[in-house]
Structure 1
Amino acid sequence: MKVSPNRQQRSRRTSYIIAEYTVKEGTHRDVIKNIGAGGLYIRTSRKIAEGQSIEIEFPLFRFDNTVRVSGKVVRVDADGFAVAFDSLLEELKAKNGQLPDIVHEIDRTT
């Protein structure tokens, strides 16, 4: 099966993390559906243009500690859009074939 050049090439972890992101269409909050060291996928019904720069902020390992990353919107579909980070998130690189545990909104106690 041929892989599209816009498809992610690294391991990703299913997630449910609320992220705040800024694109030319404005600043929004939506849910990260999966994430890996090289990028993520945000589920949204918003119309976000492919090819543009994006700044994203979200909790990763603890709710009181957010990560801020920049990247580019590399794929858009009816359910959301995919982002490739400008640089890898070293904390999310798979070790021994396993991705580290991350936070999920369903685990939030506050």
Structure 2
Amino acid sequence: MEDITGNLIKIIQKMPKKDRYKLYQVLKKRYPLEKRKNHRVKLNTHAGYTSLECFGKDMIQDISVGGVFLKTMAPLAIGRPITVTIPSADGSHTIKVHGEVVRVTDDGVGIKFTQKG
């Protein structure tokens, strides 16, 4: 099997710097390295959630101002509204946030916050 990545690297290394920069600009637009606008913070805590399909309690992997990644096997669909209930650090109260499922992976779902409730 041909080593496509290796061959691409060899070709790129032979290119003049000006051409490499042009290629980089094209690839950067087409395949952005990071789509997130907000810094994520690791947060391993349980959170409750409810959606049209299901409800439950699973682990939050990380959180940002714009959303949260919930580690879950629940059958949540992209575009569905969801409410996540996040406990405070000391467990004395909870914060309820409303969002939309924007990404589904084998590990869980990415949720974009739509409003704080």
Normalization by structure 1: what TM-score?
A: 0.71
For 1:60 and 1:12, the matched residues in 2 are separated by 17
- 1:92 is matched with which residue? none
Identical columns (%): 29
Paired residues of 1:54 and 1:72 also in contact (CA < 8 A): yes
Q: Determine which structure has the larger strand proportion and give its number.
A: 1
- Largest Rg, 1 or 2: 2
Q: For residue 46 of structure 2, what is the amino acid of its counterpart?
A: I
More RCO (CA 8 Å, sep 6+): 1
The answer on 1:72 being equivalent to 2:100 is yes
For 2:101 and 2:71, the matched residues in 1 are separated by 13
Unpaired runs of at least 5, structure 2: 1-27
For 1:76 and 1:4, the matched residues in 2 are separated by 18
- 1:3 is matched with which residue? 32
- 1:101 is matched with which residue? none
Q: Determine which structure has the larger helix proportion and give its number.
A: 2
Q: For residue 18 of structure 1, what is the amino acid of its counterpart?
A: H
Normalization by structure 2: what TM-score?
A: 0.67
For 1:37 and 1:43, the matched residues in 2 are separated by 18
Give the stretch that moved more between structures: 54-63 or 26-35. 54-63
Runs of 4 or more, structure 1, over 4 Å off, are none
Q: Report the alpha carbon displacement of residue 49 of structure 1 after superposing the two structures with TM.
A: 0.7
What's the CA shift string for 1:36-91, capped at 9, x where partnerless?
Answer: 11100001122211110001101133311110000100000111000000147xxx
Q: Report the alpha carbon displacement of residue 9 of structure 1 after superposing the two structures with TM.
A: 2.1
The answer on 1:56 being equivalent to 2:84 is yes
Q: What's the Cα RMSD here?
A: 2.0
Q: For residue 79 of structure 2, what is the amino acid of its counterpart?
A: G
